Homo-oligomer: A and B are copies of this chain.
Amino acid sequence: MRGVESLPRLRSIRGMKTPILTPLAESLPATVPFVGPETQERLRGRTFEARLGANECLFGPSPLAVAAMEAAARDVWMYGDPECHGLKAAIAAHHGVTPAHVVVGEGIDGLLGLLVRLLVGPGDAVVTSAGAYATFNFHVAGFDGTLHRAPYKGDFEDPEALLALARQTGARLIYLANPDNPMGSHHAASVVSAMIEALPEGCLLALDEAYVELAPEGTEAVIAADDPRVIRFRTFSKAHGMAGLRLGYALAAPALAQAFDKVRNHFGVGRIVQAAGVAALGDKVHLRAVRAWAEAGRLRLGQIARENGLLPLPSATNFVTMDCGRDGDHARALLKALIARDIFVRMPGVAPLDRCIRVSIGDEAAMAAFAAALPLALADLG
């Protein structure tokens, strides 16, 4: 994460009369939740050899989706359907719900922002885990909510602690990722179901399932389509291999799903994006191949970790988080050494999770580059 930067106050420019931000906007730092690898490459003056830091799916998108994008590119003079009718129908069929249960948006990031906007007013309490997905926190700050953080329990988000904190603070919203990022851990579906049953009155569970297609059977929670206590989020960035597309969706009870129409950017999901989503959902063979590829990749990354004295944590995702065996300073030094050796990886930002580095599954070349660089980077630390 980039630190808080000091911006010139808007008033000060050349002494001219200028717009003044709202007090809330004025108070917000100009942080970005994540610094992209391209920014790092520009600062370094050198490209990365292996791009293993953003949990992208190096297996790539479905060939059917690529063909659909190419065809849609030629028709891109037309606005996309603002109701995303075909895409919502495809998603609904995929999940056995109706299109009224589906919200489509510009990635889970965009949808989380809209959800927070709909539910969280100034000072409203929101609960997440200390070290969980930073972009959610960005949105809570952006709408002036008050964020409360429960610690992880070991390498797992802790449903009991989240619920207790929600009860204590009167939270409107709890964020839980299952599987978890950045640790790669997961809870069984039954744990999530029990958490939903125990939610305090008036508190919604935002269940981020970005990685669930890559998780073991029995991870995906069984939730009634009309259950108003939970909204679940899915993405085409991970198992579908299209992070650069920007397409996510949410499944929720129709009243909540429809409420997004009050605030969303109605034409925000464009024509190419919609076509790609429909095609990708239709390619079950590709999804199975990605699952098999991810399983093999987890084993390979685990092997590389162990060969170098790191402990690979069990992963239900397309990345492996590796316990470096010491403290955050040690892991940060290793991260820095890997980056210096042209390997783009990231790591958890909060102790004690920050004893780890987080490595995405790569293609053969990227995995080989990581395997070659890791012992050298460890040696660099002395």
Contacts and interface: CB of A to CB of B under 8 A. Distances in A.
Interface of A: 7-10, 12-14, 16-25, 28-36, 38-39, 42, 51, 54, 56-61, 66, 69-70, 72-83, 85, 106-107, 109-110, 113, 117-121, 124, 135, 142, 172-173, 199-204, 226-229, 237, 241-246, 253-256, 258-259, 261-263, 265-273, 276
A77 B106 contact: no
A73 B64 CA distance: 11
Contact of A19 (B59, B228, B242): B228
A142 B118 CA distance: 10
A244 B77 contact: yes
A79 B120 contact: no
A158 to B, nearest CB: 22
Nearest to A42: B85
Contact of A246 (B25, B58, B117, B267): B267
Majority-rule SS of A interface residues: loop
Contacts of A78: 51, 54, 56, 243-244
Contact of A121 (B23, B113, B245): B23
Contact of A17 (B51, B69, B202, B263): B202
A364 to B, nearest CB: 15
A245 B59 CA distance: 25
**Residue among A51, A121, A267, A269 facing the most chain B CB atoms (10 A cut-off):** A267
B19 A83 contact: no
A379 to B, nearest CB: 30
A263 B28 contact: yes
A113 B262 CA distance: 12
A284 B69 CA distance: 25
